[in-house]
Structure 1
Amino acid sequence: MEFIFECARSGLGSQEKERFPVNTHNVHFSPAMEQKFRIPEVNPSDMIVIILSLELYFRLIPKNSGLLNKFSDSIKLGKSCSLFDSYVTFTTWIQSVLNDIDKCNYVGELKRLYLENKIQELLLLHFDLYQQYHLNSQAQKISDENFEKLKEAKSILDTNYVNAPSLKELSKQIYLNEYALKKEFKICFGTTIKQYVISLRMKYAMDLIKEGEHSITDIAHKCGYKGLVQFSTAFKKFYGKPPTSLSRLI
């Protein structure tokens, strides 16, 4: 992933010199890539490049997740590819995550987990942006009316994920039948309703852990889980470690 604030890049080999506008980004994969970055001497320059191994990429974005099948398939086949045809402008959310990474003061295991979480968040933001630019053929079949209802459903979950409505309740709120809601939500947003709610809860849980002022039991309840075991299982599945191991590092 490359995030360019002020930079000119020249590639090696057959690549020709390219210039990119400021405040742009893209995601690339190459099995063997060598690059040179030419930084102007007279202008303040800043650039963030995040390099991921295949193992880490597919741990953050599982192979069976359904997100960006075409991009992930190219990676699995070892074919060079880019997420976007050209560099695209930062969103407010991407800028916010980059600032979090830049200001990270954690050390050791907590720093590693925090940065992996932020990188995963960046990937998801990229994928969300990609889906806005390139709706697949299935999404193009969704009516404008249903698309607006699906955005409303996502907005409801964004603000009520702690006490998220059931599929039946959400269906009634947006006046869309359960089958269409379940199927078309995944098409539009690249994840199931259940997994989307879990991701929101887990991000909230991590924020509470970082505050260092709450017990794990309290965090479980604040995130909408009735029991500690249920919360710990979900947390470990999402982050790869139980919440208790992180709370001791605060």
Structure 2
Amino acid sequence: MQDQQHNIIYANGYMNTFENKSLDAENLSIEFSREAFLQLTEGSNDTMKRFADRLMAGGPVVMGIQSLPANATIQRVIQDIIQCNFTGHLKKLFLLSKSIELLVLQADAWHQAFQFRERQQYKRDDVERIHYAREYLINNIEMPPSLSELSRIVGINEFKLKKKFKEEFNTTVFGYLADYRLGMARSFLEEGNKSVGDIAYELGYSSPQHFSAVFRKKFGVAPSELKK
């Protein structure tokens, strides 16, 4: 935990060691009993529910390995607690209300943080699926799947597949496949080891004539001319 950060921790008896990197340091801890915490957080957001479930399982629980920065609202409530001028029963009520307010702010901050991390993870997952789709197309270039088949194979719906593929590779799914095929065809022709017909069928074209027409449109020359 670094300066100006907060966390929520449960432990049934524990020892902590703090190493300060400056001569002056302040730490504010507010403790709820297990029963009071569960009662206060019952029916709150999913993040607090998961925390409570882990708490009920019996082990020590930390809301997050990396603590969150304390925003201005959280810091204001902390200052209200530190600078409390009430005495007696009013002080107890004030500190209880502020402690609950602080818990609410923490619960909301952690919930937002986990939602953001989940969205980022979904994005990374989507990118991995898109790259897998590209690899699958290349590995099955002779008989490529349909768009619906490819979406099922990589586990992403057609709309997202088309959208994310275009974002990642700046072309459509089959636009990429067409360009990749023609690039391979040109390499084969320049190597000179295969006939035009062999290349056409190996790369999944319906006929050498179709291959020649597509190749000429792309490169401005017929495959037979390039082979020479």
Q: Which has the larger radius of gyration?
A: 2
Structure 2 length-normalised TM: 0.46
Which structure has the highest helix share of the two? 2
